[in-house]
């Protein structure tokens, strides 16, 4: 009976433990009414608002350094404003003008060739090239023909020579933008009107300066012009180089007569190889001189008057060269827009002012009408431009030019008569 108290204590501990466990069990939850979950809707898909404004398109034009709209050169600010105004007139278009070297490595033609192979995406829509590089670029397949893209009224306004500037093998590849050529300058104190014929020059008795020395053994444009003005042909029916003895004899005889009359100083003439040298001499002595048109209309017009280069019968003849707008893009839509920009740049209301400010001659009659000059000067320029021809192909100049230069020197130095020198030149070509 000694274990009775221990047994009672044990049962008391067990009862307490049971009570503790039952007090920690949570009562069952009270039932709640069932309700279906509210579905979660996805956020509404945003609806794009249609854009009713214009989609901006950037037209790119490559320009030579001479026509940079960013510098301080004459006409730069006019061109910059004109390009900006194109965007105002066409809210869906803007113009990016990129200026590059005119020639050589890193120049316009070089970049066209390189980019067409390595990075076609950077090619421009329009490029301004000189007429010689235009021919090369077109033959290389870098340019697009302009058949049906030149506005008819603009094409009709071009001077005849300008149409030829933009053609390659009779296909239009460019729209001429600006021209340069040689014409005459004379002293207004000595003459009231320009001499237009050989007889006028001989009668006036004033000194005549022209680059009789030529360049690299090739006759200057002045002598080519005299030959063409005398009716001479430089190519035959098959396109081969030629010289005609009669017209060449007439030119050389004029040189001989002018020498005898003191109008041409042989030694002085043969020492001058450029129009710039002739102009410098003219400033010292006055008289008559050949002058580059761009130089005259930016520097010389204040001290001299312009005239056509005198020819045998007084019919104006000139050899023009110039800058031409060419189409690069192959996209028909971009071509239409690029040609709209080209026409914008040739609009007479602006174009005449711009060409006069730069000294370039206009290629359209409407552009000439926009020049702020006297009626007499406009008439002279109109005659010169109407009689101008496109430049001679370099291979033809290289073939015929040395023969003309040799004949000219023989006559001015008194070594041969005009007839002898002409006959020898014709025979040498044959």
Euclidean distance between CA atoms 122 and 132, whole angstroms: 23
Say which CATH number the domain at 66 has: 3.40.190.10
**Are 155 and 141 contained in the same domain?**
yes
Q: Is 22 domain-assigned?
A: no
Same-domain pairing of 421 and 291:
yes
pTM above 0.75, yes or no: yes
Q: What is the C-alpha to C-alpha distance for residues 342 and 123, in angstroms, rounded to an integer?
A: 17
Are 102 and 228 in a shared domain?
A: no
Q: Give the pLDDT confidence score for residue 26 in this predicted structure.
A: 39
Q: Is residue 415 one of the residues assigned to a domain?
A: yes
- Please report how many Cα atoms fall inside a 13 Å half-sphere around the Cα of residue 348, on the Cβ side: 14
CB of 372 within 8 A of CB of 160? no
Stretches where the chain sits below pLDDT 50 are 1-41, 45-46, 48-49, 51-53
Question: 222 in a domain, yes or no?
Answer: yes
- Is position 29 within any domain? no
pLDDT in tens, 148-192: 999 999 999 999 999 999 999 999 999 999 999 999 999 999 999
With respect to residue 173, please indicate whether it lies within any of the assigned structural domains: yes
338 and 378 co-located in one domain: yes
Asked whether residue 52 is domain-assigned, the answer is no
Reference 316, options 270, 380, 397, 400; nearest CA is 380
Q: Is residue 78 within 8 Å of residue 353, measured between CB atoms?
A: yes
The total number of structural domains in the chain stands at: 2
Same domain? For 262 and 303 the reply is yes
pLDDT of residue 52: 47
Instruction: Report the distance separating Cα 30 and Cα 319, nearest Å.
Output: 112
Residue 7: the pLDDT is 41
Quick one: 353 and 330 in the same domain?
yes
Considering the domain architecture, whether residues 415 and 284 belong to the same structural domain is answered as yes
- Taking alpha carbons only, the member of 388, 245, 249, 244 closest to residue 312 is 249
**Same domain for 84 and 216?**
no
Per-residue pLDDT, 430: 84
* Alpha carbon distance 195, 408 (integer Å): 22
> What pLDDT, on a 0 to 100 scale, did the predictor assign at position 43?
52
Clarify whether residues 210 and 356 are in a common domain.
no
Same domain, 312 and 340: no
Quote the domain boundaries for residue 262: 182-319+393-429
Question: For residues 373 and 389, what is the distance between their CA atoms, to the nearest angstrom?
Answer: 24
Q: Are residues 102 and 239 in the same domain?
A: no
pLDDT of amino acid 48: 46
Short-list 356, 386, 325, 355, CA closest to 161:
386
pLDDT digits (tens, 9 = 90+) for 199-208: 999 999 999 9
Q: What pLDDT score does 300 carry?
A: 84
Q: Is residue 401 part of a domain?
A: yes
Q: Are residues 314 and 327 in the same domain?
A: no
Q: Is residue 132, in this structure, part of any structural domain at all?
A: yes
């Amino acid at each position: 009976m000694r274990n009775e108290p221990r047994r009672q204590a044990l049962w008391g501990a067990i009862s307490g433990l049971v009570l503790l466990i039952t007090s920690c069990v949570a009562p069952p939850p009270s039932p709640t009414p069932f309700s279906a979950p509210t579905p979660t809707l996805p956020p509404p898909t945003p609806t794009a608002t249609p854009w009713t404004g214009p989609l901006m398109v950037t037209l790119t034009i490559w320009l030579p350094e001479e026509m940079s709209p960013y510098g301080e050169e004459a006409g730069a600010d006019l061109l910059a404003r004109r390009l900006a105004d194109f965007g105002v007139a066409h809210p869906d278009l803007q113009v990016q003008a990129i200026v590059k070297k005119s020639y050589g490595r890193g120049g316009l033609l070089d970049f066209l060739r390189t980019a067409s192979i390595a990075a076609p995406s950077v090619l421009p829509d329009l490029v301004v090239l000189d007429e010689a590089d235009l021919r090369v670029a077109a033959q290389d397949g870098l340019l697009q023909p302009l058949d049906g893209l030149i506005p008819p009224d603009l094409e009709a306004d071009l001077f005849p020579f300008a149409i030829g500037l933009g053609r390659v093998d009779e296909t239009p590849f460019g729209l001429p933008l600006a021209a340069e050529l040689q014409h005459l300058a004379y002293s207004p104190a000595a003459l009231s009107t320009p001499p237009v014929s050989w007889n006028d020059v001989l009668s006036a008795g004033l000194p005549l300066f022209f680059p009789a020395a030529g360049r690299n053994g090739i006759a200057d444009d002045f002598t080519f012009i005299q030959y063409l003005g005398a009716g001479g042909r430089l190519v035959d029916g098959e396109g081969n180089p030629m010289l005609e003895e009669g017209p060449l004899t007439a030119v050389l005889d004029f040189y001989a007569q002018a020498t005898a009359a003191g109008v041409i100083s042989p030694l002085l003439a043969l020492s001058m190889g450029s129009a710039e040298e002739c102009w410098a001499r003219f400033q010292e002595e006055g008289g008559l001189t050949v002058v580059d048109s761009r130089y005259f209309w930016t520097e010389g017009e204040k001290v001299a008057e312009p005239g056509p280069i005198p020819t045998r019968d007084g019919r104006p003849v000139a050899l023009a060269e110039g800058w031409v707008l060419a189409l690069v893009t192959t996209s028909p839509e971009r071509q239409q827009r690029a040609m709209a920009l080209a026409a914008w740049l040739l609009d007479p209301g602006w174009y005449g002012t711009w060409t006069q400010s730069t000294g370039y001659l206009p290629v359209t009659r409407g552009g000439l009408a926009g020049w702020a000059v006297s009626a007499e000067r406009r008439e002279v320029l109109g005659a010169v431009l109407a009689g101008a021809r496109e430049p001679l192909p370099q291979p033809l100049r290289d073939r015929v030019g040395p023969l003309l230069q040799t004949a000219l020197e023989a006559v001015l130095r008194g070594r041969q008569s005009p007839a002898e020198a002409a006959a020898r030149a014709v025979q040498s070509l044959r």
